[in-house]
Structure 1
Amino acid sequence: MMKILLLEDDKILCDSLREFLELEDYCVDVAYRGSDVFDLTFKKKYDLYILDVNVPDVDGFDVLSSLREAGDETPAIYITALTDINSISKGFEIGAEDYVKKPFDPEELVIRIKSKYQQEDTLLYHGDICYDPINRVVQKNKQTIGLGEVQQNILHTLMVQQNKIVDSYTLMDFLEQPSANALRVNLTKLKNKLGIDIKNIRGQGYMIENL
């Protein structure tokens, strides 16, 4: 589970962000003051820092600068209402990897976290097939394979539920003109294009088994 340290002095925003992130299965510790970050990082190692800038005691820029000077290379994202180019530039110069301007949708923050810091953890494999479910990119032997929307949706559903039977009606929902025959045609094309084994579980549906 990814461990995140969130620095935000607005307690309502901080608590709501923590709840949202925890719903995404992140482990979140919070700090309301800059100096609290030093206490927490002394006791525990984190996978990601999410830092506001204008916080009491020690501002977010100085917090990250001190951590970097101490050899802490933990990835960091700034969340701040500061939108001038000098502030943004300063944040990146100190060592932040990303910068989210307030106000923002918490879902945007989650998308950035998943795409930047969890890609390796979320990649799915099946033989020589590598599938990125976040960006919906499929590779075979490290070569990107283009798929149409229908086959892309079918592959996504089967890959994220490997070793589980997906009923035929769920897969047929992706078709413009749903039918068992049309589904079989698309599955055959998908198998031929990727060389992937999609099993037909008679009377139940289809599945991709873990190798």
Structure 2
Amino acid sequence: MQILIVEDEKRLAEALKQILVEQKYMADVVYDGNDGLDYGMSGIYDLIILDIMIPYRDGFEVARELRRNKIETPILMLTAKDTVSDKVTGLNQGADDYMTKPFAPEELLARVKALTRRRGEVMLDETGYGDFNFNASTSMLSKGAKSVHLNFKEAEIMKLLIANRDIIISKEDIITKVWGYDSDAGSNNVEAYISFLRRKLNFIQSSTEIKAIKKVGYRLEQKS
């Protein structure tokens, strides 16, 4: 799951990122409203944590522009302002929730989970496709009595494939979602991890395959 942090206090921004990374989220950080809008407009994020008092464009304007451009990514506004009028303004500009500084990491994580769950993109612990099961909490891939553990990036790619079942996922989308917006990862990285996943599907003797669609991407299919 990919989260964008828009916060000009660099130490706080890095602390937020660390909290999220420790919980296995992917997080990108930008420090002003212009970059926040540019990154947010990409539509790749599952959540945007947006401070109000940031340079160039404040958080209200960023939220308003994102919503005007039909970007529906949940927005959690994070700010030192705690008056009712500020909260109402933020919500009216398109924010989904509002949290004031200082905050406890537990509160942040609870709000992150609630907002992403509300969007309907959080995967159930136990899910799957075809004849295999995948446990997102333990990263175990299984069919019947046979099971195998997926490493972090393998698990993230599998989540993406399952969540978008029967839809072709491009290599670019996989790189952005799994490695991050500014990553140097390329097609070779994706191909390597797809190969690892195919071996593990074969190991559990699944009849599901990761089908490569030439020059387009990948999708899950049942073997004929």
Per the normalisation by structure 1, the TM-score is 0.56
- Matched residues in 1 for 2:80 and 2:41: separation? 28
Residue aligning to 1:198: none
Residue aligning to 1:133: none
Residue aligning to 2:61: 62
Of structures 1 and 2, the one with the larger relative CO (CA 8 A, separation 6+) is 2
Does 1:72 find its partner at 2:71?
Answer: yes
Residue aligning to 2:95: 96
Residue aligning to 1:121: 122
Contact 2:43 2:73 in 1 (8 A): no
TM superposition shift of 1:117: 1.4
Question: For residues 127-177 of structure 1, what are the alpha-carbon distances to aligned partners after superposition, in whole Å with 9 as ceiling and x for unaligned?
Answer: xxxxxxxxxxxxxxxxxxxxxxxxxxxxxxxxx77989xxxxxxxxxxxxx
- Matched residues in 2 for 1:12 and 1:99: separation? 20
CA gap 1:107/1:58 in 2 versus in 1, 3 angstroms: same
Question: For residues 101-130 of structure 1, what are the alpha-carbon distances to aligned partners after superposition, in whole Å with 9 as ceiling and x for unaligned?
Answer: 11001221111111331376353459xxxx
- Matched residues in 2 for 1:75 and 1:43: separation? 14
List aligned pairs for 1:12-23, cutoff 5 A: 12-23=11-22
- How many residues are paired up? 131
**Secondary structure, counterpart of 1:18 in structure 2:** helix
Residue aligning to 1:181: none
- Matched residues in 1 for 2:69 and 2:121: separation? 27
Residue aligning to 1:202: none
- Matched residues in 2 for 1:122 and 1:98: separation? 21
- Matched residues in 1 for 2:121 and 2:65: separation? 29
**Secondary structure, counterpart of 2:89 in structure 1:** helix
Greater Cα offset, 52-61 or 32-41: 32-41
Residue aligning to 2:194: none
- Matched residues in 1 for 2:41 and 2:105: separation? 28
- Alpha-carbon RMSD across the aligned residues, in angstroms, is 2.4
AA aligned to 2:116 is Y
**Secondary structure, counterpart of 1:103 in structure 2:** coil
Contact 2:37 2:65 in 1 (8 A): no
| Deviation >3 Å, runs of 4+ | 41-44, 122-126, 160-164
- Matched residues in 1 for 2:20 and 2:71: separation? 23
Question: For residues 168-189 of structure 1, what are the alpha-carbon distances to aligned partners after superposition, in whole Å with 9 as ceiling and x for unaligned?
Answer: xxxxxxxxxxxxxxxxxxxxxx
Identity across the alignment (%): 38
Gapped regions of structure 2 (runs ≥ 5): 128-136, 146-224
